[in-house]
Amino acid sequence: MTTKTLNPLFDLTSHQRQPSIKNGLYLKDVLSVEQFTKDDLDYIFLRANEMSKMAARWGTCDLLKGYTLACVFYEPSTRTSSSFIAAMERLGGKVIPITEGIQYSSVSKGESLIDSMLTLEQYRDVIVLRHPEIGSVAKAAKYAHVPIINAGDGAGEHPTQALLDLFTIQKELGKIDKLKVAMVGDLRYGRTVHSLTKLLSQYDVSLRFVSPDTLRLPLDLMNMLIDKGINVRETSKVQDVIENADVLYVTRIQKERFTDLAQYDEVKTFFEITPELMEKAKQKMIVMHPLPRVGEIHYSVDKDPRAAYFRQVQNGMFIRMALLAAVLGQA
């Protein structure tokens, strides 16, 4: 899928705000991290770095002028929806968000997801879609004629989050190979964990999974890791992994996926990352979280330079700028 070329998108040395060249990676849709090769990932990260330089120097540009994005969220979102909106605006495009008003759209009248997509594509060039059902975004992409970007399909995948997570790891620690990554929390329903695990399985990493017994990583993912020969261990105690982790990837318990709230109550206070716990961690390591946090990381950890979760948020905009450019043939 990738044609490797390092021609820059922007000329930052002159006052040229137009893209200097179109080349590189074209994506039809972004549905799952499984579609990306390591070369694609390098390319996206390269473009995301360029986006960050462009934003620092010029703020905005005209790369996607004339394009419009429909941002359609059937589940709540703060970061993903707002960063896609910010990304499109920084590239000179327009956005019509349908993020707060699903109850006012025709979905509330019983319109199917496919009909909504076939309607929106009549006046949009790209659709970012979040939906509670696993596989629903891929299904919408089968019918739609414009690019569809998966912004989370239930407990399935969250590919753009995983791309920004991996980008953050590389930026913060300078590499991905040879790292020990510990994922903590709701590994069963956490879609960001599922996507990041798949991406990391392309690298030479050791993975540690920390969760209550009822929220362990799905078996198909665990088997995939074992088949690939990845060094994996499971435990229910953060204390078992804190000393050796290069990355502590913390997630919240996904309350909305539980059918029995009594089961949620049993695990909701499973763990908390505190300054005392951080004393046991390496000096050079990072704590990440896809956010929102609901008690998993104590607020006093925020002062610790190893707390990377808000830097992670900023990286999200640059990755999404790179992805929007790629699906619209401008990367």
Q: Which residues are at the interface with ligand ASP (CB under 6 A)?
A: 152, 158, 191-192, 251-252, 290-291
Indicate the residue among 150 and 330 with the shorter CB distance to ligand ASP: 150
Q: How far is the CB of 251 from ligand ASP (least distance, A)?
A: 6
Of 124, 130, 191, 252, the catalytic one is 130
CA–CA dist 330, 78 (Å, integer): 27
Q: How far is the CB of 254 from ligand ASP (least distance, A)?
A: 6
Residue 79 annotated to the active site: yes
Q: 11: which residues sit within 8 A by CB, 6+ positions away?
A: 20
Q: Which two tokens stand for residue 176?
A: 């991905």
Nearest to 120 by CA among 107, 136, 134: 107
CA–CA dist 155, 116 (Å, integer): 22
Q: How far is the CB of 196 from ligand ASP (least distance, A)?
A: 11
CA–CA dist 248, 246 (Å, integer): 7
Secondary structure of residue 25 in the 3-state scheme: strand
Indicate the residue among 176 and 291 with the shorter CB distance to ligand ASP: 291
Q: How far is the CB of 199 from ligand ASP (least distance, A)?
A: 15
Q: How far is the CB of 256 from ligand ASP (least distance, A)?
A: 9
Q: How far is the CB of 293 from ligand ASP (least distance, A)?
A: 9
Of 80, 99, 168, 197, the catalytic one is 80
Indicate the residue among 32 and 251 with the shorter CB distance to ligand ASP: 251
Q: How far is CA 100 from CA 39, 72, 77, 149, in A?
A: 37, 9, 9, 18
Residues 126, 67: contact at Cβ < 8 Å? yes
Residue 109 annotated to the active site: yes
Indicate the residue among 10 and 167 with the shorter CB distance to ligand ASP: 167
In sign, the C-alpha dihedral spanning 71, 76, 77, 78 is positive
Of 53, 79, 257, 298, the catalytic one is 79
Q: Which amino acid is at 177?
A: D
Q: Which two tokens stand for residue 170?
A: 């590389």
CA–CA dist 311, 298 (Å, integer): 17
Indicate the residue among 133 and 243 with the shorter CB distance to ligand ASP: 133
Indicate the residue among 125 and 186 with the shorter CB distance to ligand ASP: 186
Q: Which two tokens stand for residue 257?
A: 């996926």
Residue whose token pair is 């300054």: 275
Of 158, 194, 252, 289, the catalytic one is 158
Q: How far is CA 326 from CA 117, 219, 222, 228, in A?
A: 20, 33, 31, 29
Indicate the residue among 147 and 185 with the shorter CB distance to ligand ASP: 185
Residue 289 annotated to the active site: no
Q: How far is the CB of 14 from ligand ASP (least distance, A)?
A: 39
Strands 180-184 and 148-153, sheet pairing:
unpaired
Residue nearest to ligand ASP according to CB distances in the complex: 290
Residue 311 annotated to the active site: no
Residues 246, 168: contact at Cβ < 8 Å? no
Burial of 272 (0-12, 13-18, 19+ CB in 10 A): middle
> Which positions are catalytic?
79-80, 109, 130, 158
